[in-house]
Amino acid sequence: MYSRVLVTGIVQSVGFRPFVKRLADSVDTTGHVMNLGSVGVEIVVEDRCLEEFLSRLKNEKPELAEIFTTTVSSLQDYSRTSFVILPSRASIASSFSPLPPDISICNECIRDLAVGRRKDYPFISCTNCGPRYAVIKALPYDREKTAFGDFPLCSFCLTEYQSKADRRFHAQTTCCNDCGPSYLLQESSGVVIPLDWYKLSSKIRDGKTLYMLGQSGSHFICDALNESTVMMMRKKKRHESTKPFALMARSIEVAEKYCIISEHDRQLLLSSRRPIVVLPIRDDVDLPMDAIAPGLDTVGIVLPYTSAQILLYKHGIPELVVLTSANNPGLPMPINNEEVIEGADYYLLHNLKIQQREDDSVIKSFGDESVIIRRARGYVPQPLHHPDIHEHILALGANEVVTGAFSTENWVTLTQHIGNMKNLENLEFLRSALTHLSELYNFTPRHLAVDLHPDFLNRRLIPEYGDLQLHEIQHHEAHVYSLLLDRNLPLTENMLVWAVDGFGYGHDGNAWGTELFHTSSDGIERLGSAVPVSYHGNDMNARYPARMLLSYLKSCDLEHEWLKIIGDYSGFSRGEPEYKFLSNKFGSMEVTTSSVARLLDAVSYLTGSCTYRSYRGEPAIRLEAIAGRLNIEKTDPFIKGNLIDSPKILQHVLEINGRKEKARFVHDAISSSLAAIAIREADELGIKKLGFTGGVAYNYRINTLLRNLIQESGIEFITHKMLPPGDGGISAGQVAWICAQLL
C-alpha cells in the first residue's frame, strides 16, 4: 500500500526533490517525487515506512527549504519497482508554493573555485546556493525554465546532475567552464580584451573603475580607500547627489577593521542572504568619508556573495571596494550587455539572461534587532504568512521606495525594491515585476490597492486592471497594517501604533506624517498627531530645508527674525534658490504638515548639516549623524493634548548652544513626546502594545529612546522584522488594510 504526501512551502529550487530521492532510497521505499508547480511537491511512498519518512523529511530537509504543510492521503492501484523523480507537472490548483530568494555562494562551491573543472569559474552554484528568483522564467522549477536552460550540460555536469550522491543532483543552475555562461572583458572604448582576473584586479588596485554585470544586476567597483577615484566615481554615478556608497569587504575581519560590528550584525553579514548592513565606522580608521558617505558616521558593508566577486578578491583587488548599483540616478539598473552605463574604465559582461533585476538588500540594526531598509536580493520573493489574509489583492504601493505586492490565501508576496516612481522606466519595472510574479503563481486578483494620493505615477496602471475593485488607502494606515502583517499579529489587534515619516496624503488633503492610530476589531482610528505647521512650495520644502525652517519660525511668530537666524549659518548665500523663495514671502498654495521629519529637516539646516536634500531623507540622516548614538536622554515632553508641539521644540532648539547639542535635543524631545502621548493613551484604553512604523523608525536615536521609555512603562514595543518600516512596506500594508476591512 502507498500514501500520497503533498508538501507545500519553499520546496522548489532548493534541492528538495534530490533530497527526497536520497531519503526514499535510505528507507528502502519505492514511489516517486514530482514538482506540481505553484501547488508544491507530490511524494508517493510505501505505507510501511511512512512514519520514518515523514519524520526525517521534516528534520533533515535542505537548509533553504521550508515545509509549511504536509497532507497525507491513501493511494489506490499504485505500484513501482523503484523510487524515481518524475517530470514536473504544472497544476492549476490554488495552493501556494513559494520560491526561495537568491542567496550567497556556499563554502563548498567556494572551495570548487580552487581546483578541477570549475577552477576560477565565475558562475558556480549547487542545490544549496546561488541565483533563483533572478533567473527563473516559469514554474515548475526545471532547468529549461531558467536562464540556464540556454546552456546544455556537458557530460561532466550531466553526470553530477544525475547522481543522487552529488550535491549538484538536479541542481538546475549547475554548469562549469565547458558548458555554462561566461564573462568577457571590454575596455571603455568597447574593444574586447582577454579576461585575466589577476590583471583586472591589478587595474582596480591602480585606481581604475570596473562595471560588472552580476547574476541579478550590475555594479560599479573601485578602490574605496582611493579618495580621488571614489570622488571621480561619485561625479559620474551620483552627479550632484551626496548619497552614500556601499562598500564590499573581502572578509568579516576586514569589515571589523573599519567598522564596529555587534554579534547580531556579524551574523547578518555572514548569513546566506548577504545584505548590506549599515554599521558605525571606527574612530581610529582613516576612511575617505567625504567621498564615500558625506556627512555620515555610518557606512553600508556587504561581504562577497558571488563566485565572480570572490575571484576578484582571490586575484588581488583591494580589501575594501565601493560596490554601488550601476544605474543612472533614479532609473533601474541594467541587466544586459546592451544597457551598460558609461563611465567605467573596464566592463565585465556576460551572456546569462537575467530575468529579474534585484538591488542589494540593506539592513540597519538596533541592538539585537534589525529592520530592513531595502528589501530585494536575499529576501525576495520570500512571502509572509498571515491567517487573516483571505483575498486575492494586487497592491501598487506608494510613490517612493516602491514595491508592489499580491496576496493569495494566507500569503502576501512582495516584488523586489523598485525605486522612486518619478519616471516611466520605473513604472515599467513595477509592471514587469508584478507580471512576472503573477505568471509564476497563476495569480488572478480581485481587488486593486493604491495610495490615497491622487497624483502618484503608479496610478497610471489602474486602467490596466479596470475590472478589479479599486481601494484608495491612506498612506499611514497602510504603514500600520504593514506592521501588523509583518509581526503576524491579528489585523484586529487591540494596540496603538505610531506611524511617523515625511509625507503621506491625509484624509483632509493635508500632509500627514506623525500619526498615532488605535487598531481593534472596530477598525482603525487616528488618536494623535503633531501640531500642524503651514508651508508653501509643496515638495520643494523637502528639497530645501531652509524653507521648512522658515515655516517653523513663522509658526513660532519668529518670521521677522529669519534673516538673523538663518544668516548665522555662513553656508547660506543670497544666490541660493531658497533665499529667492523666502524673499518673495512664499507666494504659492498653503498646506499644512504634521510630520516631525520636517522638523528634523529644519534643524538639519539650522545646524549646518544639510542645505539641500540630494537623496531621500538626507537632512534627517545627516542630523542623526551629528547627534550620534551616545548620551541618549529623556527630556520633558512637548505636547498639547494629543499633539506633539513641534514649534515649541524648535523654539527650545534655538536657545541651545552647539550644533551637536541642538541635534541631540531635537531627537530626544521628539522621542519623549511620542512616548508621553502613547503611554497616556495606552493607560486610558488599557492597551499593552505600542507599534512604531514609518521612515522615522530607521532613526537609531529616536527608535532607541522611544523603545526604552515604552518598555519602562510596561508596554510591549513592536517594530518591523521582515518588512521595511518605510515606504517599501506600504504595498503589503495595503493588502492587509483591505483584508482587515473585509474581516
pLDDT bracket for residue 217 (50, 70, 90):
very high
- Give the residue among 571, 645, 647 at the shortest CA–CA distance from 603: 647
Percent of the chain with pLDDT over 90: 78
| Residue at 207 is within a domain | yes
Q: Tell me which DSSP letter residue 356 carries.
A: S
Give the pLDDT of residue 38: 67
Give the pLDDT of residue 273: 94
What are the residues whose beta carbons fall under 8 Å from the beta carbon of 455, sequence distance 6 or more? Answer: none
Give the pLDDT of residue 558: 84
pLDDT (mean) for 384-400: 95
Rounded Cα–Cα distance for residues 524 and 478 (Å):
11
pLDDT bracket for residue 575 (50, 70, 90):
very low
Is the pLDDT reported for residue 584 higher than 70? Answer: no
346 and 214 in a common domain: yes
SS3 (DSSP) at 464: helix
Is the pLDDT reported for residue 233 higher than 90? Answer: yes
DSSP string for 468-483: SEEEEE-HHHHHHHHH
- Give the residue among 592, 603, 580, 701 at the shortest CA–CA distance from 654: 603
448 and 420 in a common domain: yes
pLDDT (mean) for 437-449: 92
| Residue at 94 is within a domain | no
182 and 253 in a common domain: yes
- The CATH number that applies at residue 448 is 3.30.420.360
| Residue at 91 is within a domain | no
Task: Decide: 548 and 602 in contact? Cβ < 8 Å.
Answer: yes
Q: State the Cα angle at 325 between 320 and 329, rounded to 5°.
A: 130
Is the pLDDT reported for residue 12 higher than 90? Answer: no
How many Cβ atoms from other residues are within 10 Å of residue 262's Cβ? 15
Q: State the Cα angle at 12 between 11 and 18, rounded to 5°.
A: 85
AA identity, residue 399 = N
Instruction: Encode 207-217: b = buried (16+ Cβ within 10 Å), e = exposed.
Output: ebbbbbbbbbb
**Residue 595 or residue 240, greater confidence:** 595
Beta strands in 594-667 (DSSP E): 639-640, 643-644
SS3 (DSSP) at 278: strand
SS3 (DSSP) at 290: helix
Is the pLDDT reported for residue 565 higher than 90? Answer: no
551 and 651 in a common domain: yes
737 and 613 in a common domain: no
| Residue at 515 is within a domain | no
Give the pLDDT of residue 589: 63
pLDDT bracket for residue 567 (50, 70, 90):
low
- What digits encode the pLDDT tens for the residues 666-698? 999 999 999 999 999 999 999 999 999 999 999
pLDDT bracket for residue 330 (50, 70, 90):
confident
- The CATH number that applies at residue 562 is 3.30.420.40
Give the pLDDT of residue 40: 83
Among residues 377, 396, 413, the one where a domain terminates is: 377
Q: How many helices (H) does the chain have, and how many strands (E)?
A: 22, 31
705 and 584 in a common domain: yes
| Residue at 239 is within a domain | yes
219 and 235 in a common domain: yes
- The CATH number that applies at residue 35 is 3.30.70.100
Task: Decide: 9 and 67 in contact? Cβ < 8 Å.
Answer: yes
What are the residues whose beta carbons fall under 8 Å from the beta carbon of 496, sequence distance 6 or more? Answer: 516, 517, 518, 519, 527, 678, 681, 682, 685, 687, 689, 690, 691
- What digits encode the pLDDT tens for the residues 596-628? 999 999 999 999 899 889 999 999 999 999 999
Q: Which residues pair with 593 in a beta bridge?
A: 511, 533
Give the pLDDT of residue 594: 96
Give the pLDDT of residue 532: 96
| Residue at 289 is within a domain | yes
- Give the residue among 702, 479, 476, 707 at the shortest CA–CA distance from 603: 702
Rounded Cα–Cα distance for residues 619 and 398 (Å):
21
Give the pLDDT of residue 409: 87
391 and 361 in a common domain: no
**Residue 606 or residue 582, greater confidence:** 606
Task: Decide: 576 and 647 in contact? Cβ < 8 Å.
Answer: no
Counting beta carbons within 10 angstroms of the beta carbon of residue 282, is it exposed (0 to 12), middle (13 to 18) or buried (19 or more)? Answer: middle
SS3 (DSSP) at 148: helix
Give the pLDDT of residue 183: 98
Beta strands in 426-537 (DSSP E): 447-451, 469-473, 495-505, 511-520, 523-530, 533-536
SS3 (DSSP) at 259: strand
- CA dihedral for 408, 457, 540, 294, sign (positive or negative): positive
pLDDT bracket for residue 466 (50, 70, 90):
confident
- What digits encode the pLDDT tens for the residues 641-656? 999 999 999 999 999 9
Lowest average pLDDT, out of 22-26, 249-253, 562-566, 721-725, goes to: 562-566
Task: Decide: 296 and 263 in contact? Cβ < 8 Å.
Answer: no
Name the most confidently modeled range: 8-12, 73-77, 565-569, 672-676: 672-676
pLDDT bracket for residue 463 (50, 70, 90):
very high
pLDDT (mean) for 271-275: 94
Looking at the structure of the chain, the number of domains it has is 4
Give the pLDDT of residue 572: 46
| Residue at 533 is within a domain | yes
Rounded Cα–Cα distance for residues 616 and 712 (Å):
33
447-451 and 469-473 beta bridge pairing: parallel
pLDDT bracket for residue 95 (50, 70, 90):
low
Rounded Cα–Cα distance for residues 436 and 98 (Å):
13
pLDDT (mean) for 202-225: 97
Give the pLDDT of residue 574: 42
How many residues in the chain?
A: 743
What are the residues whose beta carbons fall under 8 Å from the beta carbon of 575, sequence distance 6 or more? Answer: none
Is the pLDDT reported for residue 199 higher than 70? Answer: yes
393-395 and 346-350 beta bridge pairing: unpaired
| Residue at 512 is within a domain | no
Lowest average pLDDT, out of 152-161, 479-488, 562-571, goes to: 562-571
Give the pLDDT of residue 92: 46
Among residues 342, 377, 412, the one where a domain terminates is: 377
- What digits encode the pLDDT tens for the residues 122-145? 999 998 899 999 999 988 888 999
112 and 67 in a common domain: no
Rounded Cα–Cα distance for residues 161 and 485 (Å):
40
Name the most confidently modeled range: 35-44, 53-62, 554-563: 53-62
Rounded Cα–Cα distance for residues 525 and 477 (Å):
9
**Average pLDDT over the chain, rounded to whole?**
92
511-520 and 523-530 beta bridge pairing: antiparallel
Is the pLDDT reported for residue 395 higher than 70? Answer: yes
Give the structural domain span for 566: 529-718
Q: Tell me which DSSP letter residue 35 carries.
A: E
56 and 116 in a common domain: no
- The CATH number that applies at residue 347 is 3.90.870.30
AA identity, residue 437 = L
Give the pLDDT of residue 69: 87
pLDDT bracket for residue 342 (50, 70, 90):
confident
- Give the residue among 628, 679, 700, 697 at the shortest CA–CA distance from 283: 628
pLDDT bracket for residue 537 (50, 70, 90):
low
SS3 (DSSP) at 726: coil
Give the pLDDT of residue 635: 95
400 and 365 in a common domain: no
127 and 29 in a common domain: no
Among residues 377, 393, 424, the one where a domain terminates is: 377
Which residue shows C-alpha cell 550644533?
A: 659
Element (DSSP H or E) covering residue 434:
helix 424-440
Radius of gyration over every alpha carbon of the chain, rounded to an integer in angstroms: 27
Is the pLDDT reported for residue 11 higher than 90? Answer: no
AA identity, residue 739 = C
